[in-house]
Amino acid sequence: MTGKGFDPGKVWRRFIASSIHGEISDATIQGYLRSASQIEEIWQQIDDKVALLIAQGMAPWDAYAKMGYALAFARACRTDVVFVQELLHADAVADPSTAGYLPKVTYDQAMALCQHIEPLLEEAIIALNNPRYVPSRYRLPIKLGPRIESEGQRCPLPHLQGILAAGRQTREWAAGLLAAYELAIGAATTPVPEAITAHIEEMHGDLALADFHLQTGIDLVGQISQGDVTSELHEQAEDMLWEAIVGFSMISQLVADPLVLTQSTPNSIVTANGKQYRDRRVTEDDLWQLLASASARDDLQKQQRMGIDPRREPRPGEEPNLALEMWELHTKMHGILPAETQQALDDIAAAVRRGDAEVFSSWASCPYDPAYRTKRQLSVAGTTIPANYEFHWNIHYNNYRGGVEMAQRFGSRDGWDEAPEDDE
């Protein structure tokens, strides 16, 4: 006999999911999603405010910029919500018998994203209601993540399919937001500033790149679903899909980013190596790939697998929070990779290929870049470095435009340090 309200089927499903498959209940995640129920209402209030400002005679680009912070926070929050919803939906569809339970990697990824829902929504509400609001905890664009990966094994196919579905959703959304912004600009009764036109063109370029990443990820997932493939293909598919969602998330925020629309971007131009270098916008992920050493990227992934909040200050005695340090550097650089640094990176890479320099260590402070030793005299971004010297490109020099730091021998240091407080 069963007691009132007793569901043997539910008990059996719980046993299969938790005891046999080692899955985790999604009850906490569902609670986070319910807490985000206000997001559509808040977003509508922000859109209404933009429409009111335009109706009162404000130029559309100025109206969007005035509400840019609120829009960016609301959109970043919704990206997290949509991503989590799609992860849960894909897992439930793949195996209805374990609905309500998630594989560890899916649970950990969903939880990592859920942690940002309430803070981002809170910032959106503050920005909506405070005309003098300037964010203190965040720098736009807001980074998606952290990304959680399977430890030592392939991620489940439903997990990949959930990321793919999130990519499709965020793509449709980003393209729609860009189109709506263009319509508003097109209806302006005053001449459109050249900076606004250039900004829209840049957003279309970013959309095309994110589309490429999404389609590549879709193709790879299609191959995976057809049969057994290598772990490398699984990882590449996840990489492509993640890059796509990051791209779409950036577009949805930057369409109305007041820092883009109201402040001039440094536009240093350097001609060298038969090419022209220009200042360009970069993400924190770009800085990790372009500036940091391989060992630093490995340690970043270890901290991410440990579930360290990328915005948490380290406790006494702990190693620096690598993600936090790079976020702070990205903020100080205003999201701009200077032309001089791009030239220096190419000069250094060419010297290494020629055998004129070699990597011998990693710099101890952010961006944790490689340190090199010269075998012959060489030039990096116009600076001559003698043979048998040690050097690295110090991004903190010259107001974050960078410069060569060199010595016959640098002092050695174990572990990572926090970045300097001020540029030298």
Please count the residues of the chain. 424
Q: Computed from CA positions of residues 233, 289, 175, 198, in that sequence, does the dihedral angle turn out positive or negative? A: negative
pLDDT at position 379: 95
Q: Which of 219, 214, 111, 228 is nearest to 163 (CA)?
A: 214
Q: Given this model, what pLDDT does residue 420 score?
A: 64
Q: Which two tokens stand for residue 59?
A: 């130029």
Phi-psi region of 277 (alpha: psi -120 to 50; beta: other; left: phi over 0): beta
Peptide bond connecting 367 to the previous residue in cis, omega within 30 degrees of 0: yes
Asked if the model's pLDDT at residue 96 lies above 70, the reply is: yes
The secondary structure of 128-174, three-state, reads HHCCCCCCCCCCCCCCCCCCCCCCCCCCCHHHHHHHHHHHHHHHHHH
pTM comes to 0.61
> How would residue 119 be classed by pLDDT, with cut points 50, 70 and 90?
very high
Q: Specify the 3-state DSSP secondary structure of 423.
A: coil
Cα distance between the two ends of the chain: 77
CB contact at 8 A, 388 and 334: no
87 DSSP 8-state letter: H
Query: In which element (H, E) is residue 25 found?
Result: strand 24-25
Phi, psi (degrees; rounded to nearest 5) at 359: -75, 135
Q: What is the pLDDT of residues 135-171, one digit of tens each?
A: 767 767 788 988 888 776 777 889 999 999 999 999 9
DSSP character string of 231-272: HHHHHHHHHHHHHHHHHHHHHHHHTT-HHHHHSPPP--EEEE
Per-chain mean pLDDT for the chain? 86
**Model pLDDT for residues 222-236, shown as the tens digit of each residue:** 877 666 656 778 788
The single-letter code of the amino acid at 226 is: Q
The pLDDT value recorded for residue 421 is 53
Nearest residue to 115 via CA among 389, 361, 354, 310? 310
d(CA 104, CA 145): 17
Domain ranges across the chain: 8-138+146-258, 269-407
Give the per-residue pLDDT at 265. Answer: 45
Instruction: Show the DSSP H helices in 26-67 as ranges.
Output: 27-35, 39-55, 60-66
Determine contact, residues 338/268, Cβ cutoff 8 Å.
yes
| Element (DSSP H or E) covering residue 388 | none
164 and 93 Cβ atoms separated by less than 8 Å: no
Residues in a beta bridge with 385: 378
Going by pLDDT thresholds of 50, 70 and 90, the confidence category of residue 413 is low
Residue 268's CB is within 10 A of a number of other CB atoms, namely 13
Alpha helices in 255-338 (DSSP H): 258-262, 284-290, 294-305, 322-332
User: Residue 366 is encoded by which pair of tokens?
Assistant: 């952010």
Radius of gyration for the chain, computed over Cα atoms and rounded to the nearest angstrom: 24
**pLDDT at res. 20:** 45
